[in-house]
Amino acid sequence: MRSSDLPQVRSLELFKSMGDSNFDTLMQAAYLQTFPSQLELIAEGDPADFLYVVIEGCVELFARTNGRESTMGMVHPVGTFILAAVLKDAVYLMSARTCRRSKVLMVPSENIREVFQRDEAFARAIVVELASCYRTVVKEHKDLKLRTAVERLANRLLRYHVDQGESGMLELPHDKRTLASLLGMTPENLSRAFNTLKPYGVVVDGNRISLDDVEALATLAKPNPLIDDRNT
Amino acid sequence: MRSSDLPQVRSLELFKSMGDSNFDTLMQAAYLQTFPSQLELIAEGDPADFLYVVIEGCVELFARTNGRESTMGMVHPVGTFILAAVLKDAVYLMSARTCRRSKVLMVPSENIREVFQRDEAFARAIVVELASCYRTVVKEHKDLKLRTAVERLANRLLRYHVDQGESGMLELPHDKRTLASLLGMTPENLSRAFNTLKPYGVVVDGNRISLDDVEALATLAKPNPLIDDRNT
DNA sequence: TCAAGGCGTTGACTTAGATCAATTCCAGAA
DNA sequence: TTCTGGAATTGATCTAAGTCAACGCCTTGA
C-alpha cells in the first residue's frame, strides 16, 4: 500500500497502541484497493474474510430482508466496519456498498485474529472499539424505539450542527434518500418532516440547512446524551 | 457467595476459559444478592460500577426518554448484562429492574478490567461475548426497521417455538405487555396482532400459544437467519 | 442544444399503529 | 369467601407514516 496512507491507519484508535512489528504484519497482509461508486463490497450472509477500513470516500452499510432495504450506517474515513463478524469468524450481518469512488483497506480476518492473540494492546483496543460499536447501535435502537420521525430528524440536525462547528449552518453529509433510510423513514416523509420543522427555524436549501432558532429546535428535539452523544 | 452457585457462573462462556486464580479473585470481590420483584437495579446514566450476572429470576433492561419507555431486552439465568459500559468505564445506557424475586451476582467493574489485563483467555472470552451482544442488537435493529409489527410477532413466536422443542405448543416467557414493548408496539396492538395471526393457526390461551400450522405461519413470517438466529 | 433520467417535493389517499375508553377476567389480599 | 386492582381484550377514533402519482428541477450525456 502507499506509504502516505499508513500514518492515517496507524492513528486509528484500533491500531494506535499495538506493537510496530504486529502493525507491519497486518499491513503487509492487507490489500489497498480503490473501488468505483455503488460497488457492493460485501453482502450479508457472506463469511467475514476481511476487516475493512475506509481510507477515502464513503461506504454505506445496509440490510435487506424480504424485498425491503434499509441503511444501517455510513462509514467515513478513517473508519472500520464489520469488526464483530471478523472476530467471531461469522458471516456478515450487513451488506456494504461504496457511495462514491472510495479507497478501502482490506485486512484478512485470520491476521486480525492472529495478532489479537499476540498483541495485548491490540486486544484491549479491539475491546474498546467493539464496546463503542455496541453502544452506538444501542443508541440507534433507542432512537428508533422511543422517538417519532420528526424528533429523530430534529436531533440528527442538532448533531450535525455541533459536528460542523455550531455556526447556525450545516450541510447534510449524505443525500436525502440515504438520510431518510438512516432515520427509518421514506424520502417523502423526510421531506414533510423538514416542513414540520420550518416553524422551528429550520430552513432547507438543497443539502444546506440553516438553523435560525436552535433553542426552539432543541425544545422540540429534547436531545438526550444517552442517545445522541457519540462519546459517552 | 454460596458455593452451589459457583459452578453455574463458572460454566458461563465468559468465565469458562479463564484461570482458576483469576476466577477466584473475581468471585471473592463479588457480591451475591437477592432482590425483590420490580426493584430498579441500575438506572441509565449511572456510572458502571458493576458487571451483573443473573443467577435466578429475571431482569428487564429498559430505556426511557422524554416520558416514554421501552423494554430493550430480558436477561435470564445465567446471563450477564451491561458488559460494554463496564469495559469502557462509561455510564449505563439502559436501566435494569427485576421482573420477579431474583438472585444477582455483582462483580465490581475495576476487578473485571483488572483481570481482563492479566488473563489472556478472559480477554478473548470478553471479545467474543461483546461481539455477540453487538450482533444481537444489530439483529434487533434490523427486525424493527425492516418488518411490520405482525411480522415481528410471527417471527418471535417461531423462535420461542424452536427454543421450546417444536412441540406445536409454546409458552410466552414474559407477560404480554412486556412482550409488546420488546417488539416495539403497544399492548393493544399486540392483542390485535395475535388476532391477525389466527388464520395462520395461532391459538392464544393466556400465555400458552399453540401453533396449528407452522408452515403457514412461516410463510407469513419469512424468517431470516440473519435476523432471527441467535447463534450466527 | 435538447433529451433523459434521477432526485426531491407535493398532493391525494390508504394503512399501520397509537390512543382513549369501556369491559372482562383473573389472581392475590383481606 | 368477597373485594380489588392490574392485565388483557375490544371497539371507536385519531394520527403518523407509507404509498402512489404527478411534476419541477437539476445534472449528464448525446
Contact B207, B176 (CB under 8 A): yes
Q: What is the pLDDT at residue A84?
A: 98
Residue from B17, B61, B65 to probe the interface with A (highest A Cβ count within 10 Å): B65
Contact A226, A232 (CB under 8 A): yes
For residue A135, give every residue at least 6 positions away whose Cβ sits within 8 Å of its Cβ, in sequence order, or none.
B84, B85, B88, B90, B93
Residue of B nearest to A65 (CA): B146
Q: What tens digit of pLDDT does each residue of A142-164 get?
A: 999 999 999 999 999 999 999 99
Contact A209, A157 (CB under 8 A): yes
Q: What is the pLDDT at residue A1?
A: 58
Q: Is the pLDDT of residue B3 over 70?
A: no
CA distance B72 to B91: 17
Q: Is the pLDDT of residue B1 over 60?
A: no
- Can you give the three-state secondary structure of chain B, one letter per residue? CCCCCHHHHHCCHHHHCCCHHHHHHHHHHCEEEEECCCCEEECCCCECCEEEEEEECCEEEEEEECCEEEEEEEECCCEEECHHHHHHCCECCCEEEECCCEEEEEEEHHHHHHHHHHCHHHHHHHHHHHHHHHHHHHHHHHHHHHCCHHHHHHHHHHHHHHHCCCCCEEECCCCHHHHHHHCCCCHHHHHHHHHHHHHHCEEEECCEEEECCHHHHHHHHCCCHHHHCCCC
CB atoms < 10 A from the CB of A33, how many?
13
Residues facing strand C, Cβ within 7 A: A 175-177, 187-188, 190-192, 194-195, 204, 207; B 148-150, 184-186, 188-189, 193
Q: What tens digit of pLDDT does each residue of B131-181 get?
A: 999 999 999 999 999 999 999 999 999 999 999 999 999 999 999 999 999
Q: Which amino acid appears at position B7 of this protein?
A: P
Q: Is the pLDDT of residue B93 over 70?
A: yes
Grid cell 455477540 — which residue? B132
Q: Which residues of chain A have pLDDT under 70?
A: 1-3
Cell numbers at residue B40, please? 430498579
The interaxial angle of helices B20-29 and B109-118, nearest 10 deg, is 170
Higher pLDDT: A71 or B4? It is A71
Cell numbers at residue A142, please? 433507542
Q: Name the strand (E) or helix (H) holding A221.
A: helix A214-221
DSSP state of A201: T
CB nearest A224 (choices: B65, B123, B141): B65
Q: Which amino acid appears at position A198 of this protein?
A: K
Contact status of A128 with chain B (Cβ, < 8 Å): yes
Class of domain A147-228: mainly alpha
| Mean per-residue pLDDT, B82-89 | 97
CA distance B198 to B196: 6
Percentage of the residues of chain B whose pLDDT score is greater than 90: 95
ipTM given for this complex: 0.95
Question: Would you call A127 and B45 a contact, using CB atoms and an 8 Å cutoff?
Answer: no
Contact status of B198 with chain A (Cβ, < 8 Å): no
CB nearest B70 (choices: A70, A130, A146): A146
Residue ranges in A147-175 assigned as alpha helix (H): 149-163
Residues of chain B with CATH 2.60.120.10: 6-144
Residue of A nearest to B91 (CA): A232
Contact B172, B179 (CB under 8 A): yes
Mean pLDDT across chain B, nearest whole number?
96
Class of domain B6-144: mainly beta
CA angle A31/A35/A38 to nearest 5° reads 140
Contact status of A121 with chain B (Cβ, < 8 Å): no
CA angle B4/B118/A128 to nearest 5° reads 100
Task: Quickly state the pLDDT bin for B5 (edges 50, 70, 90).
Answer: confident
Q: Give DSSP secondary structure letters for A124-143.
A: HHHHHHHHHHHHHHHHHHHH
For residue A215, give every residue at least 6 positions away whose Cβ sits within 8 Å of its Cβ, in sequence order, or none.
none
Residues of chain A with CATH 1.10.10.10: 147-228
Residue A184 has phi, psi (to 5 degrees) of: 75, 40
Please, which residues bridge with residue B150 across strands?
none
Grid cell 409458552 — which residue? B171
For residue A205, give every residue at least 6 positions away whose Cβ sits within 8 Å of its Cβ, in sequence order, or none.
none
Which bases of chain D come closer than 7 Å to a protein CB?
A: 7-12, 16-21
